[in-house]
């Protein structure tokens, strides 16, 4: 790699190398550097382009009096040294208020600023001011239940769970003293593609999934132990259109009109995307080229000719938010301390509504992924578009802030998937040949934005800090008051030597497993190993070795937790007794179900995200297994007595 590219790597945050899990150093290649620079919007395909880009970045930095962003304490004055002289300084507050400031003696004095994201203009150059508290308060000890929204219908009921089922589940679990109910992401998906039902590959993270809207007539076909998404989505769409026709027949609704006005152009872009999807397919990459740009004349013409279709999709989004709000309100009304525990996906589909309508914030031509390891020798490509750190900073981090804010409308707890991305993200070029590399993210700025939005909402944040954790990240998360994740099956000092309850991290949410891991019953039986063997992922030898390894793990956990009988109650008692502030019990473990929700690395060979629960949502609160789990949580000191019935 020549000197120009090395300097560009340093200026743009591309990592020169990384160490793989076998201890080998992997150097970032020149081809990778050029591809990632292009994904960031920097021209570097030739030596001349690279030199011009480098010169431009250096020139821009030389005339900057302040960095691109600063973190300042809210409601307190602060001073900042200037790197060069300035003639005019204008403070633009988040609410639009403007105030000229004086810069004297190479120092800028900032007045007290309210919590929020503000801007400075210094001789035409912008600096983002993040007025953020240093630390979010730790939550009081508590517990909750995680469950699959889609699975809240039984085999007899058919269809899949909707927001009214969620409200019923919340009401029942609140009676048992649960402090929260956790869900996988409920971001907007791809209703035009009935097989795109993974909650972690959304179309838009600032909009919500309309396939879970409860209809006046709840009857849907498609019974059986597994959800038939194509049939159910088709029937649900027909019911949704009938409900919209009835809504329109009643005349203008002032609440809907006010909501549409409040949501503004962002909603119009999203609704336009959905209407275009009905005609041209779910993914904008497959559309006619003139429709791939939301600002094109052809899109404007489509919008003018199809107001009814666009209004339908805006109404559907309104209904999804109203019904999700009803579930959140039911949780608060029944005394849940945190209410809904929502999940923010790490990225968005590269050809969905978010990249079409908000594409300026994302890197193009690359996907999030992971480097090769023992389980994925070719590495992983997640088919998710990453935020472009340079575009994000130029937009004053508002795309990220608005994404958080939308979740906090309804969540007292928010899980941020793959929080390792605060520090760095692994970008893989789309060509399928060029190796990936790590890109540095503006960690401190992103954490400040989280603190701002969580403080506004009075919410608690959990960062999923599992996997190959960069040095210093967990310290930074803890300093911000963001809880970590502690998964009991991973909390081992060595094989079968499990961490004791008092040794768990206090600032964390603890659980036995997750949606990507085997259930308690499945873990003990090595069910995940068995399934991987059955579908050809594991050889006979790997299967045998894996089962031997698992038996050692189970034996070690049994010795520590007293779970030799395999009953989930003893495991729940162990989890309830850990030092972590919050614990989550999985509904699959409470109900002793053997199969896990999702088997990573599979798409068609395993029924991911399709399993129904055997208990109706309305009956969860009175189920004896849930009642027993509630008693255990109370006995371990995690439930206040006020809501016990």
What are the E-state strand segments in 218-309? none
Distance of CA 596 to the CA centre of its chain: 20
| pLDDT at residue number 23 | 78
SS3 string of 156-207? CCCCCCCHHHHHHHHHHHHHCCCCEEECCCCEECCCCCCCCCCCCCCCEEEE
List, in order, residues 6 or more apart from 258 with CB less than 8 Å away.
Answer: none
32: its two tokens: 């990778």
582 DSSP β-pair partners: 142, 509
Tokens 């409308």 found at: 409
Q: Which of 620, 491, 487 is nearest to 148 (CA)?
A: 620
Least confident of 141-150, 433-442, 538-547, 600-609: 600-609
Q: What is the pLDDT of residue 644?
A: 42
At 374, the pLDDT band (50, 70, 90 cuts) reads low
For the four alpha carbons of 324, 272, 610 and 384, in that order, the dihedral sign comes to negative
Write the CA distances from 37 to 11, 40, 53, 365, 380, integer angstroms.
11, 5, 10, 10, 21
> What is the DSSP-derived secondary structure letter of residue 140?
P
Q: What is the structure's pLDDT at 1?
A: 79
State percent of the chain over pLDDT 90. 89
**% the chain with pLDDT above 70:** 98
Give pLDDT tens digits for 122-134: 998 999 999 999 9
pLDDT for 333: 96
CA–CA distance, 442 with 135 (Å, rounded to integer): 18
Helix (H, G, I), strand (E, B) or coil at 464: coil
Half-sphere exposure of 221 (CA within 13 A, CB side): 6
Tell me, rounded to whole angstroms, the distance of Cα 170 from its chain centroid: 21
Tell me the average pLDDT across 627-636: 96
> What was the pLDDT predicted at 251?
94
Helices (H), 41-115: 47-62
Structural domains present in the chain: 3-62 (no CATH), 69-131 (2.60.40)
> pLDDT value at position 601?
83
Rounded to the nearest 10 degrees, the angle between the axes of helix 3-12 and helix 30-40 is 40
Over residues 428-432, mean pLDDT: 93
Tokens for 615? 């208990």
CA 191 to chain centre: 20
Beta-carbon contacts of 570 under 8 Å, excluding residues fewer than 6 positions away, are 561, 562, 563
Q: What per-residue confidence (pLDDT) applies to 157?
A: 85
Per residue in 547-575, is it b (16+ CB within 10 Å) or e — as a string? Answer: beebeebbebbbebbebeeeebebbbbbb
Report pLDDT digits (tens) over 138-189.
Answer: 999 999 999 999 999 888 888 899 999 999 999 999 999 999 999 999 999 9
CA–CA separation, 218 and 38 (whole Å): 49
With a CB cutoff of 8 Å and minimum separation 6, the contacts of 438 are: 14, 15, 18, 424, 425, 426, 427
The mean pLDDT of 441-461, rounded to a whole number, is 98
What average pLDDT does the segment 210-214 reach? 96
d(C-alpha 580, C-alpha 108), whole Å: 43
Strand ranges of the sheet holding 339-344, from the earlier edge strand across to the other edge: 460-463, 411-416, 339-344, 180-182, 142-146, 582-586, 508-511, 484-487
CB atoms within 10 A of CB 173: 27
Q: What is the pLDDT of residue 378?
A: 73
CA distance 176 to 232: 32
Average the pLDDT over 571-577 and give the result: 98
Question: How many whole angstroms separate alpha carbon 474 and alpha carbon 490?
Answer: 16
Q: Are 465 and 474 in contact (CB under 8 A)?
A: yes
pLDDT at residue number 641: 46
What's the distance, CA 543 to chain centroid?
Answer: 33
pLDDT band at 645 (very low <50, low <70, confident <90, very high): very low
DSSP, residue by residue, 532-601: HHHTTSS-HHHHHHHHHHHHHHHHHHHHHH--TT--HHHHHHHHHTSSSSEEEEEHHHHTT--S-S--TT
pLDDT at 642: 44
**Would you tell me the crossing angle of helices 254-280 and 297-305 to the nearest 10 degrees?**
120
- Look up tokens 């879970």; give the residue: 212
Quote the mean pLDDT of the chain.
Answer: 94
Tell me the whole-structure pTM to 2 decimals. Answer: 0.95
Q: Are 111 and 120 in contact (CB under 8 A)?
A: no
Q: Which of 60-64, 108-112, 222-226, 272-276 has the least mean pLDDT?
A: 222-226
Flag whether pLDDT at 640 surpasses 80: no
**Model pLDDT, residue 220:** 66
- Residues pairing with 90 in the sheet: 100, 121
- The pLDDT value given to residue 219: 67
Confidence of residue 490 (pLDDT cuts 50, 70, 90): very high
Answer yes or no: is pLDDT of 341 > 90. yes
- Tokens standing for residue 246: 């009835």
| Cα-Cα end-to-end distance for the chain | 68
Decide: 127 and 119 in contact? Cβ < 8 Å: yes
- What is the DSSP code string of 287-302? S-GGGSSTTSHHHHHH
The rounded distance, in Å, linking the Cα atoms of 349 and 56 is 32
Taken as a whole, the chain contains a residue count of 645
Q: What CA–CA distances, in Å, run from 564 to 401, 457, 490, 504, 558?
A: 47, 43, 19, 22, 5
pLDDT at residue number 218: 65
């Amino acid at each position: 790699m020549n000197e120009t590219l090395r300097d560009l790597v340093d200026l743009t945050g591309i990592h020169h190398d990384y160490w793989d899990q076998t201890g080998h150093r992997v150097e970032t290649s020149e081809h990778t550097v050029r591809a990632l620079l292009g994904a960031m919007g920097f021209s570097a395909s030739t030596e001349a382009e690279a030199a011009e880009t480098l010169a431009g970045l250096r020139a821009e930095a030389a005339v900057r009096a302040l960095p691109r962003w600063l973190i300042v304490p809210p409601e307190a004055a602060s001073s900042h040294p200037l790197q060069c002289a300035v003639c005019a300084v204008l403070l633009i507050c988040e609410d639009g208020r403007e105030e000229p400031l004086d810069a004297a003696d190479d120092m800028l004095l900032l007045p007290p600023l309210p919590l929020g994201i503000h801007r400075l203009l210094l001789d035409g150059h912008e600096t983002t001011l993040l007025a953020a508290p240093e630390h979010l308060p730790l939550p009081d000890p508590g517990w909750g239940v995680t469950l699959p929204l889609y699975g809240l219908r039984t085999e007899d009921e058919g269809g899949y769970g909707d927001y009214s089922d969620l409200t019923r589940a919340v009401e029942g679990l609140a009676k048992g003293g649960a402090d929260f109910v956790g869900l996988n992401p409920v971001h907007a998906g791809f209703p035009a593609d009935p097989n795109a039902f993974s909650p972690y590959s959304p179309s838009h993270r600032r909009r919500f999934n309309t396939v879970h809207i409860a209809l006046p007539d709840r009857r849907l076909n498609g019974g059986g132990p597994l959800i038939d998404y194509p049939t159910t989505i088709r029937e649900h769409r027909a019911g949704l259109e009938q409900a919209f026709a009835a809504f329109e027949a009643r005349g203008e609704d002032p609440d809907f009109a006010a909501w549409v006005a409040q949501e503004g152009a962002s909603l119009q872009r999203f609704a336009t995307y959905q209407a275009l999807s009905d005609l041209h397919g779910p993914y904008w990459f497959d559309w006619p080229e003139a429709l791939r740009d939301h600002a094109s004349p052809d899109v404007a013409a489509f919008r003018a000719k199809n107001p009814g279709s666009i209004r339908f999709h805006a109404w559907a989004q309104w209904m999804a938010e109203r019904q999700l709000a009803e579930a959140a309100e039911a949780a608060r009304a029944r005394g849940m301390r945190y209410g809904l525990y929502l999940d923010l996906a790490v990225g968005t589909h590269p050809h969905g509504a978010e990249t079409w309508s908000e594409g300026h914030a994302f890197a193009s031509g690359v996907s999030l992924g992971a480097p090769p390891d023992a389980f994925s020798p070719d590495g992983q490509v997640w088919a998710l578009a990453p935020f472009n750190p340079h575009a994000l900073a130029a937009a004053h981090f508002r795309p990220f802030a608005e994404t958080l804010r939308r979740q906090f409308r309804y969540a007292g707890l928010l899980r941020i998937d793959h929080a390792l991305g605060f520090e760095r993200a692994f970008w893989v070029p789309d060509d399928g040949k060029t190796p990936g590399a790590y890109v540095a993210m503006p960690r401190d700025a992103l954490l400040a934005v989280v603190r701002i939005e969580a403080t506004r909402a009075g919410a608690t944040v959990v960062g999923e800090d599992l996997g190959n954790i960069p040095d210093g990240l967990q310290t930074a998360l803890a300093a911000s008051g963001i809880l970590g994740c502690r998964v009991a099956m991973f909390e081992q000092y060595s094989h079968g030597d499990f961490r004791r309850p008092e040794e768990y991290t206090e600032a964390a949410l603890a659980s036995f497993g997750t949606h990507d891991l085997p259930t308690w019953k499945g873990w003990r039986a090595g069910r995940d190993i068995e399934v991987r063997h059955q579908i050809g992922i594991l050889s006979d030898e790997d299967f045998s070795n894996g089962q031997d390894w698992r038996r050692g793990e189970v034996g070690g956990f049994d010795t520590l937790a007293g779970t030799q009988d395999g009953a989930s109650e003893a495991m729940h008692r162990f989890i309830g007794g850990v030092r972590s502030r919050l614990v989550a019990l999985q509904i699959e473990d409470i109900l002793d179900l053997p199969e896990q929700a999702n088997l990573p690395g599979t798409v068609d060979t395993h029924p991911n995200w399709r399993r129904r629960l055997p208990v109706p949502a309305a009956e969860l609160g009175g189920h004896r297994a849930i009642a027993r789990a509630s008693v255990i949580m109370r006995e371990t000191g995690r439930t206040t007595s006020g809501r016990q019935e």
